[in-house]
Amino acid sequence: MQRLDRAGIEVLLETQQFKSWFNELSGLYHRLEILEVAIERAGEARSEAVFRYDYWREIAEEALLRSADLRNMCQNLRSEVASLENQAFEQLAGFEVARQSATGLWERITAIEHRCDDHAAEASRVRAKARFRDELKRLRTEYSAANEQKEALWHAEEALWLKVAERTLMVPELEVRANRLESRYGVLMQRVEELESRAASLNEELSDERDDLSEVQRQIARLRAAARTSFSCLCHEDFLYWPSGDDSRVVLVVALSNNSKDYNIEVRCGQIYQCDTEKGVRYLEPLSVGSGETERDERLIRFFEEVA
């Protein structure tokens, strides 16, 4: 590294070689900034697309699971209906037996009553009725029991048919719901595929931009290395450094970009500053054009005259 004073650096900054080096570096810094912003944006958009397709895939899968549950429920209901129908047929057979038994008893009662009523004479009719009284009483009791059983079987049969009807009617509604869920699954999966493809394309974009970024960084590193040999200085990211020709503890620096936030003073691109070798650019000082001092400082003379 060559020791330079302010004048030396100012001469160097005006050379064509430095100007073209600086223009190339500024262009690369500008490109770097654009790429970094683009990478941030593409990364954010990709993460968002990934998050969204994961989210919608979960929702779609949930819809499909619910549809499968409904289809299972339909299948179970159909099995239940078949079983209930079997029970109903068995029950119907039992009812038929009970109905026939009740009818048989009713016919026998009616036959006895007719036989009694067929007697023309009142006295013989009364005698006949007295003769069949016990049998009629027994038959009527049996008939009443058989009739009750028949009625009970019919009610049970009706209850079974109601159950069958309930289940049979429920199945189509569940199937429609399952169809709706499957169609929603299809729509959602289409959205998932679109988002996946967007994420993939953003991934490609991101990868291209990262390649570009690496290339720009390589070129910047090459330019920085070139500065060391061409301008005999240290070149870091934001400043070029030369040890001051006047004072070994002082380093003269040239800002490579504007920065009004991160340093103790507002740094302007291309401006020369000075700093201490230990503190570095943590504490920058403006490079004064001169102290403007004269041997006789009128202010101090006036002051001492006033207080004398």
Pairing label, strands 239-243, 250-255: antiparallel
Q: For the stretch 155-168, what's the b/e string if a residue is b when 16 or more beta carbons lie within 10 angstroms of its beta carbon?
A: ebbeebbebbeebb
Residue 134's alpha-carbon distances to 6, 111, 120, 137, 286, in angstroms, are 144, 15, 22, 5, 137
With H, G, I as helix, E, B as strand and everything else as coil, classify residue 150.
helix
Is 105 or 255 the residue whose CB approaches another protein more closely? 255
Task: List, in sequence order, every residue forming a beta bridge with 234; answer none if it has no partner.
Answer: 241
Q: Smallest distance, Å, CB 293 to another protein?
A: 5
| Residue from the set 121, 262, 288, 308 that interacts with another protein by CB under 8 A | 288
Cβ burial, residue 63 (10 Å; 0-12/13-18/19+): buried
Which one of the spans 79-87, 119-127, 201-209, 258-266 is the region binding another protein (CB under 8 A)? 258-266
Which of residues 170 and 272 has its CB atom nearest to another protein in the complex? Answer: 272
**Part of the chain binding another protein (CB under 8 A), chosen from 11-19, 74-82, 179-187, 261-269:** 261-269
What is the smallest separation between the CB atom of 234 and another protein, expressed in angstroms?
Answer: 22
Restricted to residues 227-246, the positions that interact with another protein (CB under 8 A) are: none
- C-alpha 120/C-alpha 111 separation (Å) is 16
Exposure on the CB side of residue 98, measured as CA atoms within 13 A: 19
Residue 248 engages another protein in binding (rule: CB under 8 A)? no
Among 159, 143, 138, CA closest to 100: 143
Query: CB-wise, 185 or 273, nearer to another protein?
Result: 273
Q: Which of 2, 17, 264, 277 binds another protein (CB under 8 A)?
A: 264
- Provide, rounded to whole angstroms, the least separation between the CB of residue 226 and another protein: 31
Contact between 286 and another protein (CB under 8 A)? yes
Contacts of 8 (CB under 8 A, 6+ apart): 242, 245
Burial class (CB within 10 angstroms; exposed 0-12, middle 13-18, buried 19+) of 130: exposed
Of 240, 283, 251, 288, nearest in space to 264 by CA = 283
Does 265 engage in binding with another protein (CB under 8 A)? yes
Out of 237, 293, 305, 308, name the contact with another protein by CB under 8 A: 293
Q: What is the DSSP string of 275-286?
A: EETTTGGGSEEE
Site residues for another protein, 4-63, by CB under 8 A, read: none
How far CA 225 is from CA of 3, 18, 256, in Å, comes to 18, 14, 15
Q: Which of 82-90, 203-211, 215-223, 296-304 is the region at the interface with another protein (rule: CB under 8 A)?
A: 296-304
289 is a contact residue toward another protein (CB under 8 A) = yes
In the complex with another protein, the residue whose CB is nearer, 234 or 250, is 250
**Looking at beta carbons only, is 160 or 284 nearer to another protein?**
284
Shortest spacing between CB 5 and another protein, in angstroms? 15
Q: Mark the segment that binds another protein (CB under 8 A) among 4-12, 114-122, 221-229, 259-267.
A: 259-267
The CB-of-25 to another protein minimum distance in angstroms stands at 25
Q: Which residues of the chain form contacts with another protein (CB under 8 A)?
A: 264-266, 283, 285-286, 288-293, 297, 299-300, 303
